[in-house]
């Protein structure tokens, strides 16, 4: 089949060579963006008088027909036409005749493809932001039910200090808040239009780039035509923001998985978000959480992949850049899917409050309370730490916890210890008293939740 760019060629590439160079297999996902960009471009060509009105009308009519077919999934793409741009242009010409060939006036596939990518992210990054926010709301709803649920807080995955379970859950709210801010901020750079840059140097036609920007709803146009066709930073940024978002989801997933074990049993996932084993009838596996943790790998891979593609490319457009697409599509699908699943998983999970209660009553995570108690009574903290450590050791020898240790045993280490130490050692008190700004004290957690709700 004759190529749209075939004029200077004496022979055609063989089909298998074409196949290697073609992107239609994946860039057909940009069909709507490509049509939208063409509609704006040809409208602008009409308004500036570059094309006569009757040609513009015919082209717009043809594009409208293609759009209807695209929506009905009726377009038949061919590898011989390489990519989405040439496929659509060829279809347009087949549909309305040679006048369709006027669409590409003052335009190149280089500014066209960059435009499509900007349009793609301009439409979908807000979807990501919306899903993040939805998930944040679910986290707040769960947290509000567990302000006074005491849970072990960990460092080194060793029991550290008791905390409000809401305080723990809300960490993920704040991580997502930063993700949301990053995606929102990145919109500023997505919202710049490359169209009109031509192949790279601009065009001799008296085009109106601002008109195209207005028609497509872009806030600005690239100031440098060479930058416009060679920039893929906005995609790298999307992949980078996504990689960090997935890191957060993966950390949360890891906790969900640990909490679901028989060893922890802090939560139970809903059946609707769990799977069984084909051999072990008792199993209920947190597959969705594991899958999100696993999919984080591809999000990282897509980021590193594009950075690597770009690092050696001279200005301006190089075919290497065709490799920007699959990773972006894949990361978009991964992020949207993971956010939806995670939200459902957290919304429907059951928190095992009895188990959490039991956990904080059978550990040494209240040891800091004892040291703080002694320090409050004037003992240097370092000494208080030592005394407490000895009492912990005594308990371990006896197979009991600090709350079980009789006062006379305590007094052997320090006379400063009085009967009221038992109130101080109660895990609920330990949490309640951590009322420093941003701490886990119930009052602080309520303030935090209030602040979070204001942000939503
Ligand atoms: N399929 C190409 C891509 O995705 C479109 C731009 C091609 N431009 C060119 N001069 N070959 O990058």
Site to probe by mutation for ligand 1, drawn from 19, 83, 115 as the one with most ligand atoms within 8 Å of Cβ, is 83
Segment 354-374 shows an average pLDDT of 94
pTM of the model: 0.94
368-373: long-range contacts, CB 8 A cutoff, minimum separation 24: 368/161, 368/430, 369/424, 369/425, 369/429, 369/430, 369/433, 370/402, 370/417, 370/421, 370/424, 370/425, 373/416, 373/417, 373/421, 373/424
Cα 303 to averaged position of ligand 1 atoms, centre (Å): 20
Residue 180: how many CB atoms within 10 A of its CB?
22
Spatial contact of 225 and 202, defined as CB atoms under 8 Å apart: yes
Nearest CA to ligand 1 atom 3: 322
- pLDDT per residue as tens digits for the range 266-308: 999 999 998 888 888 888 899 999 999 999 999 999 999 999 9
Segment 410-420 shows an average pLDDT of 95
Report the alpha-carbon distance of residue 107 to residue 100 in Å, rounded.
14
Q: Could you give the domains of the chain?
A: 15-105 (1.10.275.10), 110-358 (1.20.200.10)
pLDDT at 193: 98
pLDDT at 1: 57
- pLDDT per residue as tens digits for the range 372-386: 999 999 999 999 999
- pLDDT per residue as tens digits for the range 313-352: 999 999 999 999 999 999 999 999 999 999 999 999 999 9
Residue numbers annotated as active site? 156, 277
Nearest CA to ligand 1 atom 4: 322
């Amino acid at each position: 089949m004759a190529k749209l760019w075939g004029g200077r060629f004496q022979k055609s590439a063989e089909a298998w060579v074409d196949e290697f160079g073609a992107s239609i297999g994946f860039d057909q996902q940009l069909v709507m963006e490509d049509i939208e960009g063409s509609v704006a471009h040809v409208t602008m060509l009409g308004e500036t008088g570059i094309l006569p009105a009757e040609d513009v009308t015919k082209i717009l009519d043809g594009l409208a027909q293609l759009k209807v077919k695209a929506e009905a999934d009726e377009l038949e793409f061919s590898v011989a036409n390489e990519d989405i741009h040439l496929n659509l242009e060829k279809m347009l010409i087949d549909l309305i005749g040679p006048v369709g060939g006027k669409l590409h006036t003052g335009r190149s596939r280089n500014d066209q493809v960059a435009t499509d990518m900007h349009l793609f992210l301009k439409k979908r990054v807000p979807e990501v932001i919306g899903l993040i926010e939805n998930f944040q709301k679910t986290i707040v709803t769960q947290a509000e039910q567990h302000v006074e649920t005491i849970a072990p807080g960990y460092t080194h995955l060793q029991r550290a200090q008791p905390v409000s379970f809401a305080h723990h859950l809300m960490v993920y709210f704040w991580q997502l808040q930063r993700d949301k801010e990053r995606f929102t901020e990145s919109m500023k750079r997505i919202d710049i239009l490359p169209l009109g840059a031509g192949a790279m140097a601009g065009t001799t036609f008296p085009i109106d780039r601002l008109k195209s920007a207005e028609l497509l709803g872009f806030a600005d146009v690239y100031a440098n035509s060479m930058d416009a066709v060679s920039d893929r930073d906005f995609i790298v940024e999307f992949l980078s923001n996504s990689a960090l978002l997935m890191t957060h989801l993966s950390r949360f997933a890891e906790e969900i998985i640990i909490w679901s074990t028989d060893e922890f049993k802090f939560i139970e996932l809903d059946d609707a978000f769990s799977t069984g084993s084909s051999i072990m009838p008792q199993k209920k596996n947190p597959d969705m959480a594991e899958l999100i943790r696993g999919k984080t790998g591809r999000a990282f891979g897509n980021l590193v992949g594009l950075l690597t593609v770009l690092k050696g490319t001279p200005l301006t457009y190089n075919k290497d850049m065709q490799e920007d697409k699959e990773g972006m599509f894949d990361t978009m699908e991964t992020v949207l899917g993971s956010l939806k699943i995670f939200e459902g998983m957290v919304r429907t999970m059951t928190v095992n409050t009895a188990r959490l209660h039991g956990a904080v009553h059978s550990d040494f995570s209240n040891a800091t309370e004892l040291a703080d108690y002694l320090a409050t009574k004037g003992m240097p903290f370092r000494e208080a730490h030592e005394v407490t450590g000895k009492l912990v050791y005594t308990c371990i020898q006896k197979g009991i916890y600090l709350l079980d240790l009789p006062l006379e045993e305590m007094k052997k280490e320090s006379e400063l210890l009085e009967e009221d130490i038992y109130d101080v050692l109660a895990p609920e008190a330990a949490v309640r008293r951590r009322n420093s700004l941003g701490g886990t004290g119930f009052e602080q957690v309520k303030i935090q939740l209030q602040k979070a709700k204001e942000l939503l």
